[in-house]
Amino acid sequence: MAKLKQETIAAQIGNRKCERTGAVNMPVYFSTAYQHADLGVSTGYDYTRTGNPTRDALEEALAELENGTHAFATSSGMSAIQLVFQLFKTGEHIISSQDLYGGTFRYFEQFGAQYNIGFSYWNGAEIADLEKLLRVETKAVFIETPTNPLMQETDIAAVASWAREHDLLVIVDNTFYTPVLQQPLNLGADIVIHSATKYLGGHNDVLAGAVIVKDDSLGGFFFNQLNATGTVLSPFDSWLLIRGLKTLVIRVRQHQANAQKIAAFLETHPLVEEVRYPGRGGMISFFIQDAALVSPLLKQLELFTFAESLGGVESLITYPTTQTHADIPVELRNSYGLTDKLLRISVGIEASEDLVADLAQALDKVAEGVVSHG
């Protein structure tokens, strides 16, 4: 059979995995231990940290969706990053996107200080600027694309081409676009990371991470490290993630269709100074005229929930200054454009007309207050 389309891969996750019962829905294998028939005789499962049938079905699907050969389901997006960074040793150096999730920045600062690993930050625009950051001890380039929350896209293929010339690994956080919109391994990246809590899970009900690679040596390294540290995804959370993945492709299409309409609306409103939307995906950031208007706006919204996450079916609005990026020093945030006037929207799958109407009524009420008190 020809290579299956992503819609088919996703919908079929777990089907035909239980030959004894013929279960269509992947069973949840809660057992922590597995019987051995004799000395050295195993079913392939010994202890659930090392291997679990439910998690295996999930990891097989993750690898297939990202066009990789090895996938690892971890207990959170941050544990996925931590797994990857076990590759690096004291004295080494990493080049990273400047604009990135605040939790990732926090981890880099702590990890770098603890293990004397250097980090340099790149704005993601010009490949030539990478040369200025390159050191003898540089080992990898870490990219978020689009960036969080300024929504700047990076040319993965160009970075990968440059990295190959310098024998560097390329690590891409693909949380925002998912494999539906972007497959970094196909563009030359070595490692893909997801906060699977977000779009892959899609329902704001599971904490999970994922790491996907093509290279066998990287796959072997991550398997051994994950088995040693034990930050694996639990069987039930693996099942929840499988359930979410089954609708990933159709959800991403609706997120994107809604986001395109919302971005177009925001471009027209007088209280909105600038909209950051790269034209695809379900994430939008925008700058409001005055930071003093943020709280009044949030209080007027009726459908958008003020919360710090993304990728679920419900629309959320986030204020990075006090939520997702609060651990980045104010001076640093301001230096690359992440100011206190920025709001980030995770567009859900509700009716686009209802979402636009909610933003319109909230912005209009705030505008009326500005006029009446101005």
- Cα 371 vs. chain centroid, distance in angstroms? 40
Residue 343 near residue 323 (C-beta atoms within 8 A): no
Q: ω into residue 149 within 30 of 0, thus cis?
A: yes
- Residue 149 CA to residue 58 CA, distance in Å, equals 29
Residue 173 bears catalytic tag: yes
Options 17, 198, 214, 243, the catalytic residue: 198
- Residue 138 CA to residue 168 CA, distance in Å, equals 7
Map tokens 């080992």 to a residue.
Answer: 139
The answer for residues whose C-beta is within 8 angstroms of residue 289's C-beta and 6 or more apart is 271, 272, 273, 341
Residue 101 bears catalytic tag: yes
Residue 209 near residue 74 (C-beta atoms within 8 A): yes
Residue 49 bears catalytic tag: yes
- Residue 308 CA to residue 345 CA, distance in Å, equals 10
User: Per the structure block, which two tokens stand in for 337?
Assistant: 């454009």
H helix count then E strand count, the chain: 13, 12
Q: What is the DSSP code (8-state) at residue 293?
A: G
User: Per the structure block, which two tokens stand in for 344?
Assistant: 């980030």
Map tokens 């207990």 to a residue.
Answer: 75
- Residue 286 CA to residue 276 CA, distance in Å, equals 6
Residue 116 near residue 90 (C-beta atoms within 8 A): yes
How many C-beta neighbours within 10 Å does residue 303 have?
17
Residue 168 near residue 148 (C-beta atoms within 8 A): no
Among residues 237, 199, 148, 208, which one has the least CA distance to residue 313?
A: 199
Options 101, 121, 277, 319, the catalytic residue: 101
Residue 249 near residue 227 (C-beta atoms within 8 A): no
| Burial of 24 (C-beta count, 10 Å sphere; 0-12/13-18/19+) | exposed
- Residue 308 CA to residue 323 CA, distance in Å, equals 6
Options 17, 29, 121, 173, the catalytic residue: 173
Options 34, 49, 139, 261, the catalytic residue: 49
Residue 89 bears catalytic tag: no
- The residues annotated as belonging to the active site are 49, 101, 173, 198
